[in-house]
Amino acid sequence: MTGNTFSGNIVVTGAASGIGLALADQLSAAGATVYALDRRDCPIGSVRTLLCDFSDPGSISDAVAALPGEVTGLANVAGVPGTAAAQTVLAVNLLGPRLLTELVLPRMTEGAAIVNVASVAAYRNTESPESIDALLRVRNRADLQAWLRDHPVKGPAAYDTSKRALVDWTQLLSAKLTARGIRALSVSPGPVETPILADFEASMGADAMARSHDAVGRHGYPHEIGAVVAFALSPAASWLNGIDIPVEGGLFATRAAAKSPVFEGLSL
């Protein structure tokens, strides 16, 4: 594949709706053979759905067994909001993508790319670096229960922590895969107009979401995030590796400007 024209097999999780659906549509239109892993069917006729529950390691293994022998790209988009129980949030948002990636990697060759969709909520995480390191050592549900006993986070905080850990793990993964010529990076959206936006309003607070909306004029749209993920998967992004890309319409900039003593006097 060259530029933003794709060939080969690309796996997209969470492709039944939202960002994953927009991404699957864009990749399919650009020539990729897209395999959608989700609990529901992807509505795009050209996309091949493999039903998968990311809270269940056995379901992930079964889905990977049905994939073709070579995979050129993997986009881990599926996730659950902080309205779910902490164990479910951490299992789906962190353990699921990690297991899937580990199982898919033997099918990936030089030039392949992995993009993990995190969140700007990663920057709200309040767990210590040592706590995140301990979370990254978790391998299964029993380990996760033990971590939660030591770090009793609730659903909303667990969401922030899951995304912080995903960003950190992606950077470590990139370093591991550099010698194989496989890239790994993360994309962190701000609030996006998806079917679970109301869940984020419930877990993060409607006022906080409204402030984000007002700061940049609107929330993002799924196709805008999908476009960045598609670019990151493409050979055109061959020198992007091991980084997190915030895609938030300037939200961080407006927050920084509000705290800046020189902003009002800045001449343009």
Q: What pLDDT is attached to residue 268?
A: 66
Q: What are the pLDDT digits (tens) for 133-159?
A: 999 999 999 999 999 999 999 989 999
Told to judge if 35 belongs to the known catalytic residues of this protein, a careful annotator would answer: no
pLDDT tens, position by position, 220-266: 999 999 999 999 999 999 999 999 999 999 988 998 998 888 777 76
**What sign has the CA pseudo-torsion 111, 120, 86, 52?**
negative
DSSP 214-250: HHHSS-B-HHHHHHHHHHHHSGGGTT--S-EEEESTT
Write down the residue that tokens 């020539």 correspond to: 31
d(CA 101, CA 151): 26
The percent of residues in the chain predicted with pLDDT above 90, rounded, is 81
Residue 240 to residue 186: CA distance in whole angstroms: 10
pLDDT (0 to 100) of residue 58: 97
| Predicted pLDDT of residue 10 | 98
Catalytic, out of 35, 123, 159, 221: 159
pTM of the prediction?
A: 0.93
* Tokens encoding 251: 């939200």
Q: Which domains does the chain have, with CATH numbers?
A: 9-257 (3.40.50.720)
pLDDT digits (tens, 9 = 90+) for 75-133: 999 999 999 999 999 999 999 999 999 999 999 999 999 999 999 999 999 999 999 99
The answer to whether residues 40 and 24 touch, using CB atoms and an 8 Å cutoff, is no
